[in-house]
Amino acid sequence: MRSADLSLKRRLWAFRGIVILVFMIFAFQMWRLQIVEGERYQMLADRNRFRLAPIEAARGVIYDRHGRILVQNIPSFAVTIIPAYLPEDEQEAMAVFSRLSALLGIPASTAAASAGRPPFLPPKVGGERGRGLKEMVDEARDAAPYRPLTLKTNVDRDTVFIIEEEHLDLPGVLIEIDPIRQYPSGELVSHIIGYMGHIPGEQAESYAERGYDPNNDQVGLTGVELTFEEELRGSKGSKYSEVDVAGREIRAVGDPQPPLLGHNLILTIDLDLQQFTEEALRQGMEKAESAFGETSPSSVEAASRVESGVAIVMNPQTGEILSFVSLPSYDNNLFASGISQEDWAQLIGDPGKPLVNHAISGQYPPGSAFKIVPAAAALEEGIVNRRTTLTCQGTLWLPNKYFPDDPELAQQFYCWIHKYDRGHGSLNIIQAIAHSCDIFFYQIAGGLEEFQGLGLERLSEYARSFGLGQPTGIDLPGEARGLVPTKKWKRLNYSESWATGDTYNVAIGQGFILVTPLQLLNATTVVANGGTLYRPQLVYQVTDADGQVIRPFTPEVLGQIPVSQENLALVREGLRAAVEWGTGWGANLEGVAVAGKTGTAEYPGPRDDEGHLPTHAWFTAFAPAEEPEIALVVFVAGGGDGDATAVPIATDILRYYFDIPEPQPTPTPESDSPE
């Protein structure tokens, strides 16, 4: 009996010891949780309870030079998700993703995204990122679990109402009201303005270093939206708020830090002139397209369709761009609201390449419009003067340099007028520019027998001083350099030596030389203003939200060409003669003296029924000739003759600018044909 009592007492003591030990463990754990790690758990609890949310800054507005709105912000619903508030259970989380996928049209996972996504759709356009919701959220959870992740912008009201009604089944999913871009002028200025989109993946790190959120923020991707990103973006504000278990705001805590609004841009563009320029170019392109069918219906395909065109108007005294049109264009509102796969496929499938800014990215042979460069160079180098005359018989035979006495080895070059079985006869520099005589320019550039021409090195040097072969520096991304060829360039690219015939071709804007329409216009303004090469500019002023000027317009001089005023005056005289009685006669206006140069540039392509290569149409001009207010260039790819296609377009623009009524029809004295 005593033994049983002793055993019972031992068990009681053991039980008491266990109870005391458990209480000690509980006490220790409470001490550790409340005292040792109390601050950390309090911080975690507060993180669940309170949220620091960014307040988006309104992006700057963009105006034309007269204050008309080209870009503005409009309120829009955005669906965001806070990864930390999603269910921890994977199946429950996938149920949320599946429901959002059905509502937003974004795949629930990357596997689903890859299965239904065409390979040509660009990543991160609008709400479509090329990744599934799960992968997007997992990435954001690792980086910032309590920061809202934007899933889709510009969500319609019906979808927003459904999400709000189902918010208990969609933990962490929130509706935000964010501004999105609206482009009232759409296609009219899309190549200038550009559009916005999500930060490209390959640039995420660099943007993050500048304070952007790669998962949420949108940035300018093209146009001035990109080049003036820093001025337009503004600075985000922030606010503290108390939230419930689903991450929804209950009340604000403290005073929010307001955002700093982005700066506004006032462009140099005149919207009315831009509208008229676009209409004139479009109508001219349509007429050129129709002319192919009317003149040679059986060779329409061979003659090359008119698919793109450019018209730019500039102030030659400052570099201000007054109108800037590249056709075909596109509606940048498609990107503001998240472009669909169908719209994207249509844009990239268009043979005219509407997403390409042909004014700065297209590189083309300039044809005879280039002749202003060898004319100025030959005068300055003393190759010719005002009284020098050279003879054009319609054809020129260039002797073989190794066998100069063998006529069978000589190479034949033509002037455009040879198709009439005649030449221009004896011409001086003024007449050669006016009549666009190819043989005259062959000789002053490459020489002939005892007559010494410029040679490639000097011709190329002058071409570069006119701004060719290098970007102009305009406020737009994607500008091409063009090409001013050298002997080394040909050797590296063709494994051939440079020949005099190559210099002949360059002299008339053919062969290897390539320019962008804006480069050719810039070269024209150099002649117009007396030798100053300006950087073309699209932004007149940068102002703050209160209208105060932050950055005024200042003409930016890139250089002075090494040509005397006397010689430039001779070139201007030749350009004026070209419009008065030469190849550009169609631009001769009453009351305003116009100076200009046509160009008809052959390019590789299917020949027509008569064996001719397709041609681009050019015309570049300035007016008034003595004290020019504007300079312009018109280019129509595959448009045929410069005088037939480009001159009428430019003439319409000049009439509009100077408010000159339409004249009565006049007979045609002369036509510039393919050179």
Known catalytic residues are 368
Helix (H, G, I), strand (E, B) or coil at 298: helix
d(CA 35, CA 74) in angstroms, rounded, equals 51
d(CA 633, CA 325) in angstroms, rounded, equals 11
Task: Evaluate whether 675 touches 511 at the Cβ level (below 8 Å).
Answer: no
What residues are paired with 397 via a beta bridge? 412
Helix (H, G, I), strand (E, B) or coil at 541: strand
**What's the N-to-C CA distance of the chain in angstroms?**
130
d(CA 619, CA 596) in angstroms, rounded, equals 7
Q: Tokens 């090329």 appear where?
A: 130
User: What are the φ and ψ backbone dihedral angles of 234, each rounded to 5 degrees?
Assistant: 75, -170
d(CA 249, CA 307) in angstroms, rounded, equals 54
Q: How far is CA 606 from the centre of its chain?
A: 30
Task: Evaluate whether 314 touches 320 at the Cβ level (below 8 Å).
Answer: yes
CA dihedral 497, 500, 505, 506 (to 10 degrees): 80
d(CA 420, CA 434) in angstroms, rounded, equals 18
Residue 510: both structure tokens together: 């053919």
Cα distances (Å, whole numbers) of residue 637 to 126, 189, 601, 674: 32, 20, 10, 14
Task: Evaluate whether 161 touches 83 at the Cβ level (below 8 Å).
Answer: no
What type of residue sits at position 82?
I
Q: At what angle do helices 565-580 and 517-529 cross, to 10 degrees?
A: 110
Helix (H, G, I), strand (E, B) or coil at 420: helix
d(CA 211, CA 278) in angstroms, rounded, equals 39
* Of residues 573, 594, 575, 644, the one with CA closest to residue 285: 644
Task: Evaluate whether 133 touches 151 at the Cβ level (below 8 Å).
Answer: yes
Task: Evaluate whether 251 touches 241 at the Cβ level (below 8 Å).
Answer: yes
Q: What angle do CA 364, 368, 373 make, to 5 degrees?
A: 95
Residue 240: both structure tokens together: 């503290």
Q: At what angle do helices 500-507 and 438-446 cross, to 10 degrees?
A: 130
CA dihedral 40, 42, 43, 49 (to 10 degrees): 150
d(CA 35, CA 33) in angstroms, rounded, equals 6
d(CA 368, CA 506) in angstroms, rounded, equals 10
d(CA 207, CA 476) in angstroms, rounded, equals 19
